[in-house]
Structure 1
Amino acid sequence: MTTIAQASLSRRLAVLSLAGFAASTFAQSNSSYEPQRGQAGKDVIWIPTPDETVTRMLQMAEVKPTDRVFDLGSGDGKIAIAAAREFGARATGLEYNPDMVGLSSRRAQQAGVADKVQFRQADIFQADFSSATVVTMYLLPALNLRLRPLLFKMAPGTRVVSHSFTMGDWTPDETARAGYGDVYLWHIPANASGNWKLSGTGLPDTTLALAQRYQVLSGDAGFGELRASLVRPRIVGAQIAFGLRDPKGQLWQFEGQVAGDRITGTATRPGQPGVPFEARRAGDASPIVPTTAAAEQDASAFAASTAR
């Protein structure tokens, strides 16, 4: 005769067996998932990026083992995996589709880079990717425009690479044609706008008035009543350079680094050794990128124009 304890044990074993069968069936189903070219996503359709395009994106960003790469809308994971496998970087893929996340994780395991790559199910506009030194993406122009204000909150020098689509009126620093699409690279610039007091060079009472739109820098210097435009000013990440002709007509070359309200570096003039200089900002910097509201308006206008 079957005891009550034996019957209870049998029922528990049956339940565990059914649960194990269900988990096994789900795992088999999930592991067999294969995306279809052109399938709909949250805001985009999925089109795989050609291998040669992926390689060129990472080359242009000069990815190194010390980098932290975030791929926004990572799809099948190939960009993040390539960053780890070919360039030795640590990489994170942010993807809204959980099936794609599972697929990417399996592919990272197969590629032998699971210790360097992770994939997370996330909305790229809600996720935190502020630790990135390199950001990659294959999104749509309207999404790129929405991302611009978020990107400009990142550390100066962060490299941003986009496959096929631009960032509106933010001119790229470098472009390439690889595979069937264009590749665009930008560096997040420091904000050097505002009024500065220059010291350390021996030049008398020198001030700088700098204006900046994205990474395009302009401005002039003041020596009392004399004002002179800067010569070939430029900024790449936190690195700033410009020429300056002093009241005696000598052309100085300045190269330095922007760190908050301070610029430090070296100034040289023909036939003379370089001297250290410092500039301090007086007052506030000006915005160098449109506000979030303006970017969203641009994105909405673009979406409306392409829907016609």
Structure 2
Amino acid sequence: MQLSGSITALATPFDVARELDLDAWHRLLSMQLEQGSQGLVAAGSTGEAAALYDAEYDLLLRSAVEFVAGRVPVLAGTGQPNTAKTIEQTRRAAALGADAALVVTPPYVRPTQAGLVAHYRAIADDGALPIVLYNVPSRTGCDLLPETVAELAGHPRIVAIKEARSEPERMQALLGLQDRDFTVLSGDDPTACRAMLTGARGVISVASNVVPATFRHLCNLALGGQGDKARAWDARLQEVYAFLGIEPNPTPVKALLALQGIGHDLRLPLQVLSERHRDAATAMLATIRGIEDECRKSLAA
């Protein structure tokens, strides 16, 4: 499979009792499909996967697969600190109907590069799902280096990497590995436009939870080589990116979704957005609505 364009790392809606809110989940899925998202990630880090019980993981992923019904790829977050557990979770996701597994580098344990090669090869060799590597060292304490990715990219079940480091040199090194069978995706919203203009095939985005139409349009422009127009829309989104970073992800994006009636809470140790940022969240909701309306009008013109 080849992933491309605007792929949303979905937040998981909880109700006021911090239980799964499936009605809100379906509204979020519907909004994403209606506004043009080209792929969806369930139970990734933005989806608070570490806070989900097994039965909740199953319900969340199964309902997403059934709701989407093949219209776009559904990726499941399956990365665990341990290889055997990651294989087990990837098999679980396959049985639930996921199209691919998004596998973060093992958090906290900080394996060597040789350990990362062995880890990912074992998961891919098991064959449950196509594998998307995920490198986000700011969260895991472990950096998947380009030379290590080069050792993995030829595996027929390793189909892509989500790279969350923002340095242009890192993206350029990875783009040298991209071919028909291996895709490079940005995992960093503020630099995703630049990455796509230099050759990345898309982005796995947090921001597209709340600006899905604009992010799809931005991706279309960037992937279509319309650099000036893509950069203009990216400039409009800079204040959105800044807001989404004011507290740990997914706190800010869930605050914006809650203001739209999609979910209410997070699970400890995460907490709802601090009181000092509540007015900024209300103002940001008006901003994103304006951006989305302007995007839809420009597409209709």
User: Normalising by the residue count of structure 1, what TM-score does the alignment of the two structures yield?
Assistant: 0.28
More helix by share: 2
Pick the structure with greater CA Rg.
1
User: Normalising by the residue count of structure 2, what TM-score does the alignment of the two structures yield?
Assistant: 0.29
More strand by share: 1
**Higher RCO, 1 vs 2 (CA within 8 Å, ≥6 residues apart):** 2
